[in-house]
Chain A
Amino acid sequence: MVKATETEITFKINKKEVTVNVPPDRRVLDLLREELGLTGTKEGCGTGECGACTILVDGESRLSCLMVAAQLEGSSVETVEGLEHTAEGQVIQQAFVEHGAVQCGFCTPGMEMTALGMLRKDDHPSRDAIREGISGNLCRCTGYVKIVDAVEHAAQEIRCCREDQ
């Protein structure tokens, strides 16, 4: 049996480089919440069925409950705490507020990160594409309609911003 020791892992979190010394099998969700104090990312099911812990790794949505720390080496991670520092992130947050897409709020960090990942790839998604895009994120409050409205509106805003530039 190999002796496991804490490992130094360097990666970017919301554009800032960090180096942490953690057990290499630490769940990324726990690393974010406990080592880095980024408690915006939530744990729902812990088994990849609810999407509450969704983060972006190198721009793609991933479930942080199903990743180990060693997988982050050299990667760029974005969490809900980084949203307010990006133009698209601000638009998404505002759209969620304005459309009443937040009720209890527990799914919101995962929903917004999923929306960010989706809208970066496609800023003109149909409502069906939005529903498909957020299909891995459970919300028990809203019935999804307001979330789809918010993402649709955010997409429109992001398109306008791009055209203005």
Chain B
Amino acid sequence: MRAVLTPACQEELFAAWQTHPDAIPMAGGSDLLVKLRSADSSDLRPLLLLSRIGELNGIIQDDSHICIGAATTFSRIIAHPAIREHAPILADAAAHVGGPAIRNMATIGGNICTASPAGDALPPLYLLEAEVELLSPSGARRLPISDFILGPGKTALKPGELLSSVIIPTGRHFAVSRFEKVGRRKSLAISVASLSSLINLSPDGIITEARLAWGSVGPTVVRLNSLETDLQGQKTCQRNMRRIVETVRDGVAPIDDIRATAAYRRSVSANLLVRLLESLHV
């Protein structure tokens, strides 16, 4: 039997965690409980439930940021007007996580701390230049999401530190905001590859800014800065599409796994961008 600690506020949470430093924080549990079930049965570390803690739940907005509590579910994120207005790409990606019941349970903080290469919320957060707030009894610190995720299942969290919220700067508007995911099936699918894109265009169809992030095709989210720069000032109707395809194929770093081969993921990564650019061409 495993103990379950149910703190009602952050103060109680850190008090409980100090008494039981081996406790595992659990937000939605949709990933954690599957892992624990297949893990060594002698692992009986207590669970530290985050869902009752008001400070970790909900979305607040000020003039320049949206702050999402780590234990906020994807369903809440999808439905929230501020997210839909200022970070529609995150709402879009959130709508592709699991299925409806999973989205009622799974949280953004869980998706980030799981640090899966296939975490669908991650690429949009990179593009939106989100930061995470890390709390511990000794204080808070902030890190850009790209510095927080270190590798598959690896984050910059220190022992006793909790990811409390995700902070997204607002104020930038993008004409094109897309999240596209390729999986083995449509719902409840773990991404084989995904492409998130935020693009601005001039009235005559010239790309003025392109932010691109691929998910599930490398140990962490893949961004190709040189390609983003190259695309600037170009038309969406590309004469050099072949070179772009090569850049993407060489730029991503996928592996073979049960869902797809690395070669397939390279092709899909490039094709997602080609399709995107072609769809923008008028």
Contact = CB atoms under 8 A, between A and B. Distances in A.
Interface of A: 1-7, 23-25, 27, 46-49, 51, 54, 60-63, 66-71, 73, 114, 118, 132-133, 135-137
Interface in B10-45: 19-20, 22-23, 29-30, 33-34, 37, 44-45
B188 A66 contact: no
Interface of B: 1-6, 19-20, 22-23, 29-30, 33-34, 37, 44-47, 49, 51, 75, 98-102, 104-105, 186-188
Given A24-B1, A46-B37, A61-B101, 20 more contacts: A1-B45, A4-B2, A4-B44, A23-B1, A24-B3, A47-B37, A48-B30, A48-B102, A61-B100, A62-B105, A66-B34, A71-B49, A71-B51, A114-B100, A114-B101, A132-B100, A135-B100, A135-B186, A136-B98, A136-B99
Main secondary structure of the interface of A (DSSP, over half): loop
B33 A66 contact: yes
B75 A60 contact: yes
Interface of B is mostly: loop
A4 B6 CA distance: 13
B261 to A, nearest CB: 22
Contacts, number: 97
Given A49-B188, A66-B33, A133-B100, A24 B105 contact: no
A2 B75 contact: no
Contact of A63 (B44, B46, B51, B102): B102
A48 B104 contact: no
Contacts of B4: 7, 24-25, 68-70
Contact of B29 (A7, A67, A73, A132): A67
A56 to B, nearest CB: 10
A6 B33 CA distance: 19
Nearest to A25: B2
9 contacts: A4-B3, A23-B1, A23-B2, A24-B2, A24-B3, A25-B47, A66-B29, A67-B29, A70-B4
